[in-house]
Structure 1
């Protein structure tokens, strides 16, 4: 079972026999196992590296400075020269003294890490510690896990993530607290807005579907919208920023820079039924008509020069292609280029014969 390692501190690692054995005598199997742990729990990668260095330092401290047999011979010579002395000399075993000192260092280091080394308390811990009648769900499995909230909303919790929420969702608003990543499918209720608190980000919706990602040890937190619209606020020490997101838009919050950046999701999804999109067939249609239809189908603004494409006509149909694949085919046909600029798509340099 590897789940225990996701919450290990450095002190826990240096008391784990398997970890100590690998740190002191690494082999291929150990390298593979601990690399897998770092992949499963990315937030533990730095902790594992720190714990390994501590283990190596302690191993070096506990190494004998010289051969004990040689020390015994030296003491025998000294004893022989002192046979006539009235007081017998004590037997001093310097090697064992060094071992004892090293053992003491191990104990003090472990105790010090446990009692003096404390990671800063996360916003998730600060907030949930003050709640009453709260229920927490933790995904310690190797796959996504679906959690149903008291209001009927559904949350798909990613691996290594946790969420807390009241056992009942009465009052003027619904509130949940997230550490990690989750996809929310929120039951619409205009009279009771839904709030997600995830690190510095606060996401407010009425009823929609969206993804929030906010792992404490990652520099970037984000919100991606699939349907509906959401309001996102970033509460940083120096300033508070907010944006409103539409479908297929996302916002990223860069913690070190305390900066919000809006853009499009990597794989935009249609905001109309896929069946309806598949019926899009264009027979010698103006390219402007095609761009406008795609803009409506995906809820994304496509910016182009209407005069420059006025003479462009195209015969095309939409099947299983993604938005960017469709745009690639169109732009190749009219010898144009497209690029994502913020939350928009811009078409440039068309050449229509």
Structure 2
């Protein structure tokens, strides 16, 4: 019987193979697979070593020692002499066939390194939030083989429902990993790509999204995260509620924890992977956070600009910075609408001869004031 396995990744993505390695299930079948193709023993051995290395790391009590052990195994495997792993059939092949296998071996190595990287990220990021001066641990987090993974390879977004009632809209070429069900230590997911989260509120169990170098933590809110591996930046946008964003990587874990960036609705933070710097801003297009119907009065005749700005702050959740003594003599006639806030600001500033700029997720209005009221 011919089996359709072409590289290490094919074995690693086969749940039956993983269970054979861990629990020796269906041993007769996998013995047949091993002897069905001269290349399979090498591929299966490499996949088996990787699975056992990750499992061994999970057994350790301390994350630091576990990471060191896994990394030692990884580096030793990479440094191992390839000639010792070549089966007998390899020595009997022609030079051309050997070259073809050599090219294939590069693909195997790339696949192994990719899966090692994924396993390493799972081990390092699915840890509890580090305390100042302390170390992280894997206590309460599911072992890698118990993680569920969903990948959206379609053009249209994919909606994922989680056990706690939260929903995730996963964009194209994005991957979401999570334990099922969530552990007692909290609700933790791993994101590679872009997704919008609507989190069910649970004051006892924060919801944390691990995305590359940063973690976004909430109790119950809606927000989006964009963290593709190829991008130079990681971005978190908040629609409702509040979230905190902080660093979570090998470098930050060894140092006292820096204060988290707290985001409110219509705010975002951009983390530069090059500069390792957070930049807090307004979202590109701040939209109303309160319905127009909540305001009994929507048409205003000769309203002072400070009073109008107060209404806009309440409607959009955006903070304005201005000199009230200069603007309190400025009046305007307007109607509340559903337009983006910047469209409203353009009208206000043109009317009173002012200008505005964004600074640290706030809007600063600069004006020389009005002469008449």
Q: CA deviation at 1:122?
A: 7.8
CA shift digits 1:242-269 (9 cap, x unpaired): 3111111111111111111111100112
* Residue of structure 2 in register with 1:289 after alignment: 307
| Contact 1:146–1:157 (8 Å) recurs in 2 | yes
Show the 5 A alignment for 1:105-144.
Answer: 107=100, 110-117=103-110, 125-128=119-122, 130-144=143-157
Note the C-alpha offset of 1:191: 1.2
What do residues 46-91 of structure 1 show as CA deviations (whole Å, max 9, x unaligned)? Answer: xxxxxxxxxxxxxxxxxxxxxxxxxxxxxxxxxxxxxxxxxxxxxx
TM-score, structure 1 normalization: 0.66
1:248 to 257, 266, 273: 266
TM-score by structure 2 length?
0.63
Q: Secondary structure at the match of 1:190?
A: coil
SS of the residue aligned with 1:138? strand
Please list, as runs of the form range in 1=range in 2, the aligned pairs for 1:26-65 lying within 5 A after superposition: none
Q: 2:227 touches 2:234 (CA, 8 Å); kept in 1?
A: yes
**Residue 209 of structure 2: which of 196, 220, 228 is its match?**
196
Q: Are 2:342 and 1:329 aligned?
A: no
Selected match of 2:159 from 138, 146, 162: 146
Q: Deviations over 1:177-229 (max 9, x none)?
A: 11111000000110111111111111111000000111111110011111110
* Residues 133 and 278 (structure 1), Cα distance of their counterparts in 2 relative to 1, 3 Å cut: farther
- Give the Cα–Cα distance (whole angstroms) in 2 for the partners of residues 201 and 158 of structure 1: 19
Distance 2:292 2:224 in 1: 21
Distance in 2, matches of 1:193 and 1:236, equals: 19
How far 1:293 sits from its partner (Å)? Answer: 1.1
Partner residue of 1:265?
A: 283
Kindly state the Cα deviation for residue 313 of structure 1 after the two structures are TM-superposed.
Answer: 0.7
Q: Which has the larger radius of gyration?
A: 1
Distance (whole Å) between structure 2 residues aligned to residue 115 and residue 153 of structure 1: 38
Q: Does the 8 Å CA contact 1:224/1:265 hold for their aligned counterparts?
A: yes
CA RMSD in angstroms comes to: 2.5
Are 1:172 and 1:191, in contact at CA under 8 Å, matched by a contact in 2? Answer: no
Out of 161, 172, 196, the position equivalent to 1:159 is: 172
Change (3 A) 1:195 1:153: same
Q: Distance in 2 between matches of 1:121 and 1:223?
A: 26
Unaligned stretches of 5+ residues in structure 1: 1-7, 9-99
From the superposition, tell whether residues 116 and 140 of structure 1 become closer, same or farther in structure 2 (CA, over 3 Å): closer
* Alpha carbons 2:202, 2:219 under 8 Å: kept: yes
Preserved CA contact (<8 Å) 1:214 1:220: yes
Rounded Cα–Cα distance in structure 2 between residues aligned with 1:141 and 1:311: 56
Residue 111 of structure 1, CA deviation: 3.0
- Cα distance in 2 between the residues matched to 1:299 and 1:342: 14
> Is contact 1:124-1:198 (8 Å) kept?
no
Contact 1:270 1:277 survives alignment (8 Å): no
The verdict on how the C-alpha distance between 1:211 and 1:349 changes in structure 2, with shifts beyond 3 A counting, is same
